[in-house]
Amino acid sequence: MGRGIQLLIADDERQIRNGLRFGVNWKDLGIETVYTAGDGLQAYQMCEENKIELVLTDIRMPGIDGLELAARLTYHPCHVVIISGFDDFSYAQNAIRSGARDYLLKPVKIPELMECVSNLVKEIQAEKCVRQINNEDTSSFPYPGLTSHQMFFGKDEILDLTKNNNLDSTILLSLDYINCHYNEKINVEDVARYVNKSKNYFSTSFKKATGYTFVRYLTILRIENAKRLLLTTTLLTYEIAEKVGFGDYKYFSIIFHHLVGCTPSQFRKKGWKSM
């Protein structure tokens, strides 16, 4: 699988940089190497040189700010998390539009940061696995299958993979792809092309193997991730809708209510009360 995952912490305040670097056991989260940078340009150069997969960056820094840094980093995989002292919707909205995966407020709550990083590490590991499988001769590189899928994504909240454990490599590879890209504008043609099957063949095979159409699985997956973000972040519901792949907030609210039985705001209130 190649080298381990690299992390860059970019902040113009040394105390914050060092606090994040030495205040978290990054190896336990799957991070092999931690870099630091004191300004945006240095962070950009280090990322381009080392192809760093995960970046934690302050929103305001000398040189270029965190939003521009996120927009400039276009190689894959590269996931950017903005850390800011500005509790303002416009900042968070701009961060998402610039390509950031999350927006955390200072002072950073370590448990929230660790959960954010842990989830992104799983995605990066899965992306690496999928990319290697796609580039290798599958006869000499057998797909790691169910065990690998569950290791990267945890228990599948939609499919009972402990009972349905005879899924072939095409279906598991498609599940990996969907779980990695559910927050993007993907469709059945994208996934079919990725697993090198025709749209009709893939659609039929996916429904037969999982019991769900592609659209229904994708929709439920997006809602499950929206539920997680509602309970673990302070993001506004509009932001969460965007982060899980819904371009239309009203449509997101309708689908959420249909599947969950309450509005996103009601779910968040009920969730916090039960925790």
Q: What is the tens place of the pLDDT at every residue in 93-147?
A: 777 777 788 888 888 888 889 988 988 888 787 777 666 555 544 433 334 444 4
Give a yes or no: residue 99 inside a domain: yes
Same domain flag for 155 and 189: yes
The pLDDT of residue 162 is: 57
Tell me if 1 sits within 8 A of 53, measured CB to CB. Answer: no
Considering the domain architecture, whether residues 85 and 181 belong to the same structural domain is answered as no
Expressed as residue numbers, the domain containing 235 is 217-274
pLDDT in tens, the chain (275 residues): 346 799 999 999 999 999 999 989 999 888 999 999 999 999 999 999 999 999 999 988 988 988 899 989 988 889 999 988 876 666 677 777 777 888 888 888 888 899 889 888 887 877 776 665 555 444 333 344 444 555 555 556 677 665 555 677 788 888 888 887 888 889 999 999 888 889 999 999 999 988 899 999 999 989 988 998 898 888 899 999 999 999 889 999 999 999 999 999 999 988 754 44
Q: What is the CATH number of the domain that holds 19?
A: 3.40.50.2300
Please tell me whether residues 152 and 167 are part of one structural domain: yes
Q: Residues 84, 187: one domain?
A: no
Domain assignment present for residue 128? The answer is no
Question: In angstroms, what CA-CA distances link 233 with 49, 65, 103, 116, 265?
Answer: 32, 23, 9, 9, 13
Asked whether 113 and 233 are in contact (CB, 8 A), the reply is no
Total residues found in the chain within this entry: 275
CA distance 160 to 107: 39
Q: Assign residue 191 a region: left if phi > 0, alpha if psi is -120 to 50, beta otherwise?
A: alpha
Question: 175 and 270: one domain?
Answer: no
User: pTM of the predicted model, to two decimals?
Assistant: 0.54
* Residues 147 and 248 grouped into a single domain: no
| Residues 21 and 85 occupy one common structural domain | yes
What is residue 139's predicted lDDT score, i.e. its pLDDT? 37
Give residue 189's pLDDT: 94
Task: Tell me the C-alpha distance between 208 and 16, whole Å.
Answer: 51
Report the CATH number that the domain containing residue 221 is assigned in CATH.
1.10.10.60
Based on the domain organization, do 96 and 11 belong to the same domain? yes
Residue 254 lies in a domain: yes
Q: Is residue 163 part of a domain?
A: yes
Give residue 108's pLDDT.
87
Q: How many domains does the chain have?
A: 3
Q: Which pair of structure tokens corresponds to residue 195?
A: 């697993």
Q: Do 100 and 18 sit in the same domain of this protein?
A: yes
Which pLDDT belongs to residue 124? 81
* Residue where a domain stops, chosen among 189, 212, 235: 212
Asked if residue 127 belongs to a domain, the reply is no
234 and 155 within one domain? no
Q: Is residue 137 part of a domain?
A: no
Interatomic CA distance for residues 101 and 106, integer angstroms: 17
Q: Do 152 and 254 belong to one domain?
A: no
- In this structure, the answer to whether residues 160 and 199 fall within a common structural domain is yes
Query: Which residues 6+ apart lie within 8 Å of 63 measured at CB?
Result: 39, 40, 41, 42, 44
Q: Is residue 132 a part of any domain in this protein?
A: no
